[in-house]
Amino acid sequence: MIAVPDIEFRGVTKRYGSVTAVSGIDLAVPPSAFVALLGPSGCGKTTCLRMIGGFEQPSEGAVFIRGRDMAGTPPYRRPVNMVFQQYALFPHLDVEDNIAYGLRQARPRLSSREISLRAGEALAMVRLAGYGRRKIHELSGGQQQRVALARALVNKPAVLLLDEPLAALDKKLRTDMQIELQNLQREIGITFVLVTHDQEEALSMSDFVCVMNGGRIVQLGQPSEIYDEPADLFVADFVGKTNLLSGKVAGHSGNLVEVALADGTVIAARERTSLQKGEAVSVSLRPESLSLGAPGSGRLNGIVRNRIFLGSTAEYAIEVQGIGTLLAKADHMIGHGNLFKPGEPVAIGFTAGTPLAFPGPKNNGTNQRENKHVETIS
Amino acid sequence: MRSNVLRHHLLTALLLGPATAWLVVFLVLPFVAIAVFSVGERAPEGGYQAAFTLAQYANLPARATAFWNTMVLAPAGALACLLVAYPVAYFLALRAPERWRLILLALVVIPFWTSLLMRTYAWMYVLGGRGIPALLATIGFDDVRLINTPGAVLLGIVYGYLPLMILPIYVSLERLDRRLLEASADLGATPLSTFLGVTLRLSLPGVMTGFSLVMILLLGEYLIPTLLGGGKVFFIGNALVDLFLQSRNWPFGSAIAITLVLVSVVVLIAANRISTRLSGARRVDLI
């Protein structure tokens, strides 16, 4: 990366009293990137965003924006703008005055002609032309969201910060806005930093995903990397759906590790860190990497407990004796009659090397994830 | 169905009944009586004598000084109250540590629990010959007069009505969404612009509530001008007491009272209009 990063964290730690919210973060965001900070609530992602915006000061380390150390620079002197959670639009101003708010603060002053021209452009950009004189409370949630976007972008910031911008929208609108945000980012070409706890949102929108947990960055990479090559058990579990099976390392064969599962089945998995023989491990198997077949044809045998028909695919909850319930996602062709029915015995197969083995048994987070499976299944 | 509707109406009547009866007996009827008195004549031996004349209203300029004092000192007092109260309310709502907030708020309100009469008497001594002027004399400032001046009345007003101004402003600042302040800073506004463009604008309903509350109470103020203004600073309230109890000119007193009520209503409506327009609020809770 030769270009000066738009945003750079160098050894940033943030403490509130005795609580450490963010701990030793190093991160460089290249220009014109769409980056998502992804993690569960309390992982420090919002604190990071607020440190870029200038609303929090790092306890240690420094935040750079386009190569400039931002220590001591108040929010109103930073070349970034934020789309706030629940938008924080000014209730006493109409749509146009909300959008023009930042332009009116510019020194030297902009002419009122330029202000209304640029506000009008920004309104058109978010497809709200003609809404300038509306009151904020007269707008729908989606429209308010777009006003918040226009209000931030009209100032031509170096970086746009988005704090859970889609959390308050319904699913349909959220999907539309995801596409709209992506298009906007490509059109304008500035860096977007998005904070979200929704892994689907992070994967679908961004060029880079920065997965955070417990105040640290656990993995930084492209969405496909994060999904296919999770750095650890937490990422494997948090991003996307996965089955986690506990077992013990039985030995190595080539560059794969052999894991003996609870029921005695031995499967070949890739390892992230080198694992010792006898070590307790968790094996991650993505639902879509499992293939289903007639009993006896696969590696594990189970009974279909539940089926969710999703159109092009179907999800199955399959109970495997001694291991637990596995989630499998299978393509099917309607009319070929290859949908399995609840109660039917089924064999589960997978290609050697697709499972990923991580040190350590399932943690609490894993259990939550399992409960979630049950929720989606029942 | 019908009996349900009937019961509903009956319940409404029961709930509203006591308050309505109270207001009719103690507000509407006296107000009608005063209105009738105000177009009457003074009986030779004092009191009221039936007549229909606007002579009492024509005579209003005779109490011009009282009107003038009230019309100047009531808004000035409310304004002085506002200037003192706003920073206090701002500090309490936005700057004070959360756990201290209630205690500090209580400190603002507690003096209000003792009688205004007692507290105003205390000021009489503080401002009187043996109070601050005596202290000033020891360092060479002789003959400083504080008591019985408009300044003393203003001081008494600010002291007496401060909590009534602080509380509504505090409430409106407390309700202010802090993220709006962050959004303003994020959009490049300096702290001063943020204060003027967001904080102050959005706290205007509270400011207007406090201002009209204090202003209306001051229009009828009697105690503070009597004790701290001596005979010199005469309010409408004092004029009314004088007219009803001393010279027993009820019709003239009534005309003044009616005028006072009309002025109060105009002040209320104007305050409401201004704060609604400036803050963009959909609803203003007045008092």
Write the CB contacts of A125 (distance below 8 Å, at least 6 apart in sequence): A150, A153, A184
Q: How far apart are CA A72 and CA B74, in angstroms?
A: 46
Residue in B closest to A55 by C-alpha: B182
Q: A81, B190: Cβ pair inside 8 Å?
A: no
Q: How far apart are CA A228 and CA A356, in angstroms?
A: 10
Residue in A closest to B185 by C-alpha: A76
Indicate the number of domains in chain A: 2
- What would the pLDDT profile of B10-67 be if each residue is shown by its tens digit? 999 899 999 999 999 999 999 999 999 988 888 888 788 888 888 888 888 888 888 8
Q: A88, B280: Cβ pair inside 8 Å?
A: no
Residues of chain B with pLDDT under 70: 1-2, 231-233, 279-287
- Please list every residue in chain A whose beta carbon sits closer than 8 Å to the beta carbon of residue B178: none
In chain A, the percentage of residues whose pLDDT exceeds 70 is: 93
User: In this structure, is residue B271 part of a structural domain?
Assistant: yes
User: In this structure, is residue A70 part of a structural domain?
Assistant: yes
Question: Cα dist. B257→A273, B30, B49 in Å?
Answer: 90, 11, 18
Block residue for tokens 């706003």: B86
Q: B278, A91: Cβ pair inside 8 Å?
A: no
Nearest CA to CA, how far is B210 from chain A (Å)? 20
Residues A222 and A255 occupy one common structural domain: no
Structural domain boundaries, residue B209: 62-279
Give kind and range of the element (H or E) at residue A266: strand A266-271
Beginning with the edge strand found earlier in the chain, give each strand of the sheet holding A300-309 in spatial order: A291-293, A345-349, A300-309, A313-320, A324-331
Does position A370 have pLDDT exceeding 60, yes or no?
A: no
Residue in A closest to B204 by C-alpha: A92
Residues A205, A210, A213, A217, Cα dihedral to 10°: 180
| Least confident span in A4-8, A128-132, A138-142, B239-243 | B239-243
User: In this structure, is residue B34 part of a structural domain?
Assistant: no
User: In this structure, is residue B107 part of a structural domain?
Assistant: yes
Contact B238, B252 (CB under 8 A): no
Residue in B closest to A101 by C-alpha: B187
The per-residue pLDDT for A371 is 36
Smallest CA-to-CA distance from B219 within B159, B151, B149, B161 is with B161
Average pLDDT, chain A: 88
The per-residue pLDDT for B142 is 78
Interface residue ranges in chain A relative to chain B, Cβ cutoff 8 Å: 53-55, 74-77, 80-82, 84-86, 88-93, 101-102, 105-106, 135, 137, 151-152, 155
Tokens of A347: 């064999």
In chain A, the percentage of residues whose pLDDT exceeds 90 is: 65
The stretch A68-81 carries a mean pLDDT of 95
- Please list every residue in chain B whose beta carbon sits closer than 8 Å to the beta carbon of residue A152: 186-187
User: In this structure, is residue B15 part of a structural domain?
Assistant: no
- Please list every residue in chain A whose beta carbon sits closer than 8 Å to the beta carbon of residue B279: 92
Does position A303 have pLDDT exceeding 80, yes or no?
A: yes
The stretch A83-103 carries a mean pLDDT of 94
Select, from the ranges A70-84, A169-183, A307-321, B237-251, the one with the highest average predicted confidence (pLDDT): A70-84
pTM for this prediction: 0.81
The per-residue pLDDT for A98 is 96
- Give the model's confidence band at A363: pLDDT under 50 very low, under 70 low, under 90 confident, else very high: low
Give kind and range of the element (H or E) at residue B120: helix B116-127
Question: Cα dist. B40→A235, B51, B239 in Å?
Answer: 89, 4, 18
Interface probe, candidates B186, B203, B279, chain A, greatest A C-beta count within 10 A: B186
Q: B187, A137: Cβ pair inside 8 Å?
A: no
- Please list every residue in chain A whose beta carbon sits closer than 8 Å to the beta carbon of residue B198: 90
Q: Closest CB to A82: pick one of B186, B202, B278.
A: B186
User: In this structure, is residue A15 part of a structural domain?
Assistant: yes
Structural domain boundaries, residue A326: 245-377
Amino acid residing at A238: F
Sign of CA dihedral A292, A295, A299, A303: positive
Residues in chain A: 378
Does position A338 have pLDDT exceeding 70, yes or no?
A: no
Residues A45 and A97 occupy one common structural domain: yes
- Supply the angle between the helices B200-219 and B250-279 in degrees, to the nearest 10: 180
Contact A313, A329 (CB under 8 A): yes
Interface probe, candidates A86, A105, A115, A153, chain B, greatest B C-beta count within 10 A: A105
The per-residue pLDDT for B1 is 59
Phi, psi values for residue A19, rounded to 5°? -95, 130
Neighbours of B260 (CB within 10 A): 19
The stretch A253-266 carries a mean pLDDT of 88
User: In this structure, is residue B212 part of a structural domain?
Assistant: yes
Q: Does residue A257 or residue A376 have the better pLDDT?
A: A257
User: In this structure, is residue A240 part of a structural domain?
Assistant: no
Residues A302 and A180 occupy one common structural domain: no
Smallest CA-to-CA distance from A302 within A312, A310, A294 is with A294
Residues A307 and A217 occupy one common structural domain: no
Q: A76, B187: Cβ pair inside 8 Å?
A: yes
Contact A42, A90 (CB under 8 A): no
The per-residue pLDDT for A57 is 95
User: In this structure, is residue A95 part of a structural domain?
Assistant: yes
Block residue for tokens 């994060």: A226
A62 strand-pairing partners = A10
Does position A280 have pLDDT exceeding 50, yes or no?
A: yes
The per-residue pLDDT for A366 is 40
Nearest CA to CA, how far is A174 from chain B (Å)? 23
Residues A268 and A343 occupy one common structural domain: yes
Burial readout A356-370 (b: 16 or more C-beta within 10 A, e: otherwise): bbbbeebeeebeebb
- Enter the ipTM: 0.84
- Please list every residue in chain B whose beta carbon sits closer than 8 Å to the beta carbon of residue A163: none
Give kind and range of the element (H or E) at residue B219: helix B200-219
Residues A223 and A257 occupy one common structural domain: no
Is residue B193 within 8 angstroms of chain A, CB to CB?
A: yes
Residues A65 and A12 occupy one common structural domain: yes
- Please list every residue in chain B whose beta carbon sits closer than 8 Å to the beta carbon of residue A102: 187-188
Q: B177, A75: Cβ pair inside 8 Å?
A: no
Q: A82, B179: Cβ pair inside 8 Å?
A: no
User: In this structure, is residue B227 part of a structural domain?
Assistant: yes
What is the count of residue pairs from A and B with beta carbons less than 8 Å apart?
68
CATH of the domain at A50: 3.40.50.300
Residues A274 and A205 occupy one common structural domain: no
Does position A377 have pLDDT exceeding 70, yes or no?
A: no
Helix (H, G, I), strand (E, B) or coil at A309: strand
Smallest CA-to-CA distance from A196 within A161, A144, A221 is with A161
Q: Does residue A49 or residue B278 have the better pLDDT?
A: A49
- Please list every residue in chain B whose beta carbon sits closer than 8 Å to the beta carbon of residue A54: 185-186
The per-residue pLDDT for B283 is 46
Q: Closest CB to A88: pick one of B179, B190, B193.
A: B179
User: In this structure, is residue A290 part of a structural domain?
Assistant: yes
CATH of the domain at B74: 1.10.3720.10
Q: Where are the alpha helices (DSSP H) in chain A?
A: 45-53, 95-105, 112-125, 141-153, 171-188, 199-205, 223-228, 233-238, 364-377
CATH of the domain at A331: 2.40.50.140
User: In this structure, is residue B181 part of a structural domain?
Assistant: yes
- What would the pLDDT profile of A23-44 be if each residue is shown by its tens digit? 999 999 999 999 999 999 999 9
The stretch A348-352 carries a mean pLDDT of 83
Indicate the number of domains in chain B: 1
Residue in B closest to A91 by C-alpha: B280
Residues A255 and A223 occupy one common structural domain: no
